[in-house]
């Protein structure tokens, strides 16, 4: 099923609003989700709506949060999400960070006590569109085995970065510190597909190709990915006085409980470090130079980070966004949720 961006966003917004989110908050969440689907990151798009709807309707997401923000220094602040929608809190916190960085050159904003925030690329793109550099990282529930281990401790702990060139193109990365994000496993389940044997391990520590037998995800580049997971956990958890490591609650443990997750947003104003126009032009030059690099055997082109997602987004504007029938049928139905996720393990089993 193919839907226009506007059609898909409206379906998701209506479902989230019916589940209990304020209409303004439902609109923001749907915007973050359609951003992911349009860029081909379906693991963070419409497939998440039923889980969010179940958590919202059961009280695990505060539908009327008392958001608060406090500047803790000339370049720092804390945004407390009161366990409302993580997408909304992260967006509003990035707005605060952008305003601060424009005045002071840099901002570091901690986002405390939130639920799942979705695709981090959405928030760093906010900064890039303002001729700034955006960096974001966040916690997630324990589902990745540390290097050499056979049980989970850290989460997928993603990191995102974005800035723009003089011509408006955005250089961007958004990556989990595991070989694949948990949402990719969910996506494979929804399509009844197998997964590569490098993504995850089963309960005995052996490679898993059946997405329903995944017990832990695997960090990127072995010990290097494991170290990055530690860094993200410190900066978006310990630094903000929040639970860390395997003390972070599973998103499926009890959908009536708060999540208390953390995210760290960093915004840098290039104009405080170099000539802004030269910076923007150099970013454009970098993207062009990467595209001109001779491709290795088996490749047709070298893409700059974020380019393939941008191409998918442009294609979706022309031809719509592909949504699997099962998810579409849920979105257009009168069903809010089907009790699929509550009191499950980290891997929704």
Active site residues: 116
Instruction: Tell me how far apart the alpha carbons of residues 41 and 78 are, in angstroms, rounded to a whole number.
Output: 29
- Nearest alpha-carbon partner for 239 in 145, 154, 138: 138
Return the DSSP state at 211: G
Instruction: Tell me how far apart the alpha carbons of residues 276 and 269 are, in angstroms, rounded to a whole number.
Output: 9
Instruction: Tell me how far apart the alpha carbons of residues 41 and 324 are, in angstroms, rounded to a whole number.
Output: 13
Q: Which long-range contacts (CB under 8 A, 24 or more apart) does 70-79 make?
A: 71/100, 74/104, 75/100, 75/104, 75/105, 75/106, 75/107, 75/108, 76/107, 76/108, 76/109, 76/110, 77/107, 77/108, 77/109, 77/110, 78/109, 78/110, 78/112, 78/240, 79/109, 79/110, 79/111, 79/112
Instruction: Tell me how far apart the alpha carbons of residues 82 and 197 are, in angstroms, rounded to a whole number.
Output: 39
Does residue 312 sit in helix, strand or coil? helix
- Nearest alpha-carbon partner for 263 in 94, 102, 130, 147: 94
Tokens of 296: 């290795």
């Amino acid at each position: 099923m193919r839907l226009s961006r506007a059609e898909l966003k409206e379906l998701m917004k209506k479902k989230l609003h019916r589940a209990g989110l304020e209409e303004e908050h439902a609109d923001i969440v749907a915007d973050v989700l359609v951003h992911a689907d349009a860029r081909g990151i379906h693991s963070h798009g419409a497939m998440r709506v039923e889980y969010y709807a179940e958590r919202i309707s059961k009280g695990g997401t505060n539908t009327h949060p008392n958001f608060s923000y406090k500047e803790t220094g000339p370049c720092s602040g804390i945004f407390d999400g009161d366990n409302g929608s993580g997408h909304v809190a992260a967006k509003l916190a990035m707005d605060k960070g952008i305003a601060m960085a424009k005045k002071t050159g840099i901002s570091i904003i901690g986002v405390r006590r939130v639920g799942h925030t979705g695709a981090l690329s959405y928030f760093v793109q906010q900064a890039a569109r303002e001729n700034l550099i955006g960096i974001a990282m966040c916690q997630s529930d324990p589902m990745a085995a540390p290097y050499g281990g056979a049980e989970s401790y850290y989460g997928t702990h993603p990191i995102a970065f974005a800035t723009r060139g003089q011509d408006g193109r955005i250089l961007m990365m958004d990556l989990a510190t595991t070989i694949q994000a948990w949402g990719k496993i969910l996506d494979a389940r929804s399509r009844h597909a197998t997964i590569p044997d490098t993504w995850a391990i089963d309960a005995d520590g052996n490679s898993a190709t059946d997405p329903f037998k995944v017990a832990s995800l695997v960090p990127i580049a072995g010990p290097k990915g494991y170290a990055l997971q530690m860094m993200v956990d410190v900066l978006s958890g310990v630094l903000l006085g929040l639970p860390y490591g395997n003390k972070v609650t599973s998103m499926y443990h009890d959908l009536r409980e708060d999540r208390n997750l953390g995210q760290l947003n960093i915004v840098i104003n290039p104009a405080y470090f170099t000539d802004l126009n030269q910076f923007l032009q150099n970013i454009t030059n970098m993207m062009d130079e990467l595209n001109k690099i001779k491709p290795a055997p088996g490749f047709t082109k070298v893409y700059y980070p974020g380019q393939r997602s941008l191409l998918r987004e442009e294609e979706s504007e022309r031809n719509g966004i592909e949504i699997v029938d099962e998810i579409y049928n849920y979105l257009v139905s009168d069903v809010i949720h089907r009790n699929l996720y509550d009191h499950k393990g980290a891997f929704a089993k």
